[in-house]
Each structure stands twice: as structure tokens, then as C-alpha cells.
């Protein structure tokens, strides 16, 4: 069973995470994690903070000479901005009195009002700090370990932005994936390689131009935008997850992990909501034998049947709402005066859909690694590999022999 916890406030000293349960002898370096941390920072439409930070992880435990030890892995990502916040965010009681403005005007769409209501704070800053999507840097670090683990078994994860501000590509890439119209045996990571070349992580150059123009308009108007993105995993073996209990279904665990990303408001697997509109004969994927193994003519199920991976690519689509902080704010109430006011402006991104897609890769990788280790187990990578090979190598013959007998 793998698990991770993150800690850290957006403008605190650092973000940190403890990751537990990976087998020993997994090759791991901070360079690998930092590569993905850098990808999270990119994207046209991000705010000033990303110019201050160069997110870099420092591994504190659990790894020796580039290999995991099986012990808890802990790492930190320092906040460069901390030096501007040492007084305001100090964990210690200030030795001298200093004046700082307590935040009292909640921003619509943020956790500001519910946060102070729930935790009984007299300063919205106390909620802003932990609810901030800055926390996702620590998630990407943890998720990078999961993706490194999965790569050993030929599983890769990738993503692309499908739309921003309602601007979709001329070609429906998601549909092509669901219809199995893309290159046979494509790797999900190749989708990311292509998307990373775009400033907004889309696959279509004309769409990119239109989106950048729309983001410029949003910026000028003091507004923000959201969008949709697609996350894919390829090389996933048959048999991850289970229909035995609700919390073991791979589909529900993936939805949970993607939905947990700040500002995500919708998640679909495979055809998702569109599956509700067609006839059964149009939606379900026909089973065919390809060589010695089973596959499907289409992948509308998004690689999961009955909560169990079926060997086809896992395809997830999600929707991110527009960033809640607006430079041209909506109405709110000042909690000090209880009077109607404009919501507070706070430095923020205008668009973070490209970053959100990168974060979703980490969350998908994490969930797959969790289900993978639940199925195959192992205290060392060698043992996990043996278990994996024993199952996948014998699967097809087992099916054949079982049914021949009866
Ligand atoms: C983020 C850091 C934050 C924001 C953004 C994500 O930095 P700051 O608040 O100092 O500008 O840029 O967070 C939000 C948009 C949000 O609503 O919380 C990051 O590192 O990703």
C-alpha cells in the first residue's frame, strides 16, 4: 500500500512530502522529479509567482546512490518567495509587534469564506495559504516517483489540453483516442512531448493562437479562464482495480484523484457523459483477438471495464473552472464591516489549465501505481517484476486452458 502526505503553505518556507510503500531498488534521482516540476510551472497565462520560483526537490530520505531503500521517502521543495513572507508567515510568535493587514474580504469561488467558517480564523490568509494550488508542486513530486515506478513496466502517462475558454481544436483528438484511430501502440508520454511544445499544451497550432488571443483578452479585462484536458496512460496491464468493492474500482479511484486537484469540477472516463446519449451498440467496445491476446475495436470505455483495467489505454477527461482570483473582482462582503464590497485582488494566474494537466498526470500515475502494487506487491523491484511477469506472461494461456477444459 503506497501513500503520501504533503505539507506546506503557499508562502511558507517550503513544501514537503512523505511517500511510503514503494519497493526497494527503484532507480530515482531528484533530476527526474525536477524535470516534471518544471513542466508544472510552464504555460502561457500563469502569474508572477512562477517567475519567482524554480521548483527544485531535495530528497531527504529513502534513497541511497540513486536507488530507493524501501523506507519512507521524504523531500522538500523550497519556496523562493518565502523571503518576502518571513514575517507574515512566521511559525513563531513575533518578538516585536508589527503591523500587517488581516485579510477580511473573501473571493468568490475560493476557499476563503468556507475556510474561515470551518476553522474559526480571524484572518483569511490562514485559509488562502493551504488551499492554494501551490500544494500541487508536492503532488507532482510524489507522482513523479509513481511514474518512474510505472515506467519499469512499460506504463507511461501523458496529457494534453483539449480546450481553454471554450476554444477546441478543429480535429477531435479525444474522439480519435476513443475510437482507437491513433497510431497502434502509441505511448501516452508521446502526447505530452507534443503538448509540451505548445505554450498552452494543445496539439493544434491554430487552436494555440486562438487560445493565446483569448487569454490576452481575459488579462486585459482582469478576468480568468478555465478549460478541459485529457490524461492518458498506456501500457497498463489487464487486472488493476476490482469490482469487488466500491473503493477498489479503478474508475472511482482515478476520478477521486483527478477530482481532488484544486479547481477541477468534472471528470469523465472514456466516452464519459457522451456515453449516455448513444445506443448501447454505438457505445460498447467489441472484443477481438489480436494475435494471442484480446483487444477492443474501440476504447469508449477508456480502458476500464467493471472497475478493472482491460489492457487498453486509460483515458480521462477533466474540466477545470476559471481561476477564482479576478483582477476585476466580483462582489463580496467585508467581514470587518459586513458591508458590500468588491472582492480582494491577490496576485494569481489568469489560466492554469496547462499546469493542471501536468498535475493530473502525477495523480493518474499515483493511482495506477497504487493499484499496481495492490495487485502485484513486492518488497523489491525485482520481486514486483517477477510477480508482474508471472501474471501477464501466463494470462492468455490460462484463459485458453480454463475454457478448453470446460
Ligand atoms: C501556484 C502558486 C500561487 C498561484 C497559484 C498556483 O502563487 P501566488 O499565490 O503566490 O501567486 O500562482 O495558485 C492559485 C492560482 C490559487 O488560486 O491558489 C503554484 O505554485 O502553482
**Region at 74 (left for phi over 0; alpha for psi -120 to 50; beta for the rest):** beta
Task: Output the nine-digit C-alpha cell for 39.
Answer: 513542466
Q: Quick one: pLDDT band at residue 97, thresholds 50, 70, 90?
A: confident
pLDDT tops 90 at residue 107: yes
**134 CB near ligand 1 (under 6 Å):** yes
Q: Quick one: pLDDT band at residue 346, thresholds 50, 70, 90?
A: confident
Nearest to 359 by CA among 131, 39, 80: 39
Q: Give the mean model confidence (pLDDT) for residues 240-257.
A: 98
Residue 81's contacts (CB-CB under 8 Å, 6 or more residues apart) are 11, 49, 52, 53
Nearest CA residue ID for atom 7, ligand 1: 49
Residue reference for cell 469540477: 265
**47 CB near ligand 1 (under 6 Å):** yes
Ligand 1 atom at minimum distance from 131 CA:
18
pLDDT tops 60 at residue 162: yes
Look at residue 257 in the predicted model and tell me its pLDDT: 98
In order of their start, the domains of the chain are: 3-380 (3.60.150.10)
**Distance from C-alpha of 356 to C-alpha of 263, rounded to nearest angstrom:** 9
Look at residue 95 in the predicted model and tell me its pLDDT: 79
Q: From residue 67, how far is each of 3, 16, 22, 40 by CA, in Å? A: 19, 20, 11, 24
**167 CB near ligand 1 (under 6 Å):** no
Distance 134 CA to ligand 1 centre (A): 5
pLDDT tops 70 at residue 41: yes
**Distance from C-alpha of 156 to C-alpha of 365, rounded to nearest angstrom:** 8
CB 295 within 8 A of CB 288: yes
pLDDT tops 90 at residue 157: yes
Q: Give the mean model confidence (pLDDT) for residues 59-67.
A: 98
pLDDT tops 80 at residue 301: yes
Nearest to 312 by CA among 341, 333, 329, 290: 290
Look at residue 147 in the predicted model and tell me its pLDDT: 98
Q: Quick one: pLDDT band at residue 96, thresholds 50, 70, 90?
A: confident
Residue reference for cell 530515482: 28
Ligand 1 atom at minimum distance from 110 CA:
17
**137 CB near ligand 1 (under 6 Å):** yes
Percent of the chain with pLDDT over 70: 100
- Lowest-confidence range among 170-184, 232-246, 299-313? 170-184
pLDDT tops 80 at residue 406: no
Task: Output the nine-digit C-alpha cell for 50.
Answer: 512562477
pLDDT tops 70 at residue 343: yes
Look at residue 135 in the predicted model and tell me its pLDDT: 98
Q: Quick one: pLDDT band at residue 297, thresholds 50, 70, 90?
A: very high
pLDDT tops 90 at residue 94: no
More confident residue, 328 or 185: 328
Distance 92 CA to ligand 1 centre (A): 24
Residue 94: Cβ within 10 Å count: 10
Q: What angle do CA 64, 66, 71 make, to 5 degrees?
A: 45
With the most atoms of ligand 1 within 8 angstroms of its CB, the residue from 133, 226, 322 to mutate is 133
pLDDT tops 90 at residue 154: yes
Secondary element (H or E) of residue 128: helix 125-131
Nearest CA residue ID for atom 4, ligand 1: 348
Over residues 362-371, the pLDDT tens digits come to 999 999 999 9
Nearest to 43 by CA among 255, 212, 204: 212
**362 CB near ligand 1 (under 6 Å):** no
**347 CB near ligand 1 (under 6 Å):** yes
- The torsion of the CA quartet 380, 385, 388, 392, rounded to 10 degrees, works out to 180
Q: Give the mean model confidence (pLDDT) for residues 276-287.
A: 97
**DSSP-derived 3-state class of residue 340:** strand
Length of the chain: 406
Q: What is the average pLDDT score of the chain?
A: 96
Q: Quick one: pLDDT band at residue 183, thresholds 50, 70, 90?
A: confident
Q: Quick one: pLDDT band at residue 99, thresholds 50, 70, 90?
A: confident
More confident residue, 200 or 97: 200
**Distance from C-alpha of 152 to C-alpha of 173, rounded to nearest angstrom:** 28
Distance 49 CA to ligand 1 centre (A): 7
Look at residue 405 in the predicted model and tell me its pLDDT: 65
With the most atoms of ligand 1 within 8 angstroms of its CB, the residue from 8, 9, 10 to mutate is 10
Q: Give the mean model confidence (pLDDT) for residues 237-261.
A: 98
Look at residue 265 in the predicted model and tell me its pLDDT: 98
Amino acid at each position: 500500500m503506497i501513500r503520501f502526505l504533503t505539507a506546506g503553505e503557499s508562502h511558507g518556507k517550503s513544501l514537503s512530502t512523505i511517500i511510503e510503500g514503494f519497493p526497494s531498488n527503484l532507480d530515482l534521482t531528484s533530476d527526474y522529479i525536477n524535470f516534471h516540476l518544471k513542466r508544472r510551472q510552464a504555460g502561457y497565462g500563469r502569474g508572477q509567482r512562477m517567475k519567482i520560483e524554480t521548483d527544485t526537490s531535495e530528497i531527504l530520505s529513502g534513497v541511497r546512490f540513486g536507488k530507493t531503500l524501501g523506507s519512507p521517502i521524504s523531500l522538500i521543495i523550497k519556496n523562493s518567495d518565502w523571503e518576502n513572507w518571513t514575517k507574515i508567515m512566521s511559525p513563531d510568535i513575533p518578538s516585536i509587534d508589527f503591523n500587517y493587514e488581516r485579510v477580511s474580504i473573501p473571493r468568490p469561488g475560493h476557499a476563503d469564506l468556507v475556510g474561515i467558517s470551518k476553522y474559526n480564523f480571524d484572518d483569511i490568509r490562514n485559509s488562502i495559504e493551504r488551499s492554494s494550488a501551490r500544494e500541487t508542486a508536492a503532488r507532482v513530486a510524489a507522482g513523479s516517483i509513481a511514474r518512474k515506478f510505472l515506467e519499469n513496466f512499460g506504463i507511461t502517462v501523458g496529457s494534453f489540453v483539449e480546450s481553454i475558454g471554450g476554444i477546441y481544436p478543429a480535429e477531435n483528438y479525444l474522439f480519435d483516442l476513443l475510437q482507437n484511430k491513433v497510431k497502434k501502440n502509441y505511448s501516452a508520454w508521446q502526447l505530452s512531448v507534443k503538448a509540451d511544445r505548445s505554450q498552452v499544451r494543445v496539439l493544434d497550432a491554430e487552436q494555440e493562437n486562438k487560445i493565446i488571443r483569448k487569454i490576452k483578452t481575459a488579462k486585459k479585462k482582469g478576468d480568468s479562464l478555465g478549460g478541459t484536458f485529457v490524461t492518458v496512460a498506456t501500457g497498463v496491464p489487464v487486472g488493476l482495480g476490482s469490482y469487488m468493492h466500491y473503493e477498489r474500482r479503478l474508475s472511482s479511484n482515478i476520478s477521486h484523484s483527478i477530482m481532488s486537484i484544486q479547481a477541477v469540477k468534472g471528470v469523465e472516463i472514456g466516452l464519459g457523459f457522451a456515453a449516455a446519449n448513444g445506443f448501447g451498440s454505438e457505445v460498447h467496445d467489441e472484443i477481438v483477438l489480436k494475435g494471442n491476446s484480446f483487444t477492443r475495436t474501440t476504447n469508449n470505455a477508456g480502458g476500464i471495464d467493471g472497475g478493472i483495467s482491460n489492457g487498453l489505454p486509460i483515458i480521462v477527461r477533466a474540466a477545470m473552472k476559471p481561476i477564482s482570483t479576478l483582477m476585476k473582482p466580483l462582489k463580496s462582503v467585508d467581514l470587518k464591516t459586513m458591508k458590500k464590497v468588491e472582492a480582494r485582488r491577490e496576485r494569481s494566474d489568469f489560466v492554469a489549465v496547462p499546469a493542471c494537466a501536468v498535475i493530473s498526470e502525477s495523480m493518474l500515475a499515483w493511482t495506477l501505481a497504487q493499484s499496481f502494487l495492490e495487485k502485484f506487491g513486492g518488497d523489491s523491484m525485482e520481486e514486483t517484476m517477477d510477480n508482474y511477469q508471472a501474471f501477464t506472461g501466463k494470462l492468455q494461456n490460462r484463459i485458453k486452458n480454463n475454457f478448453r477444459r470446460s
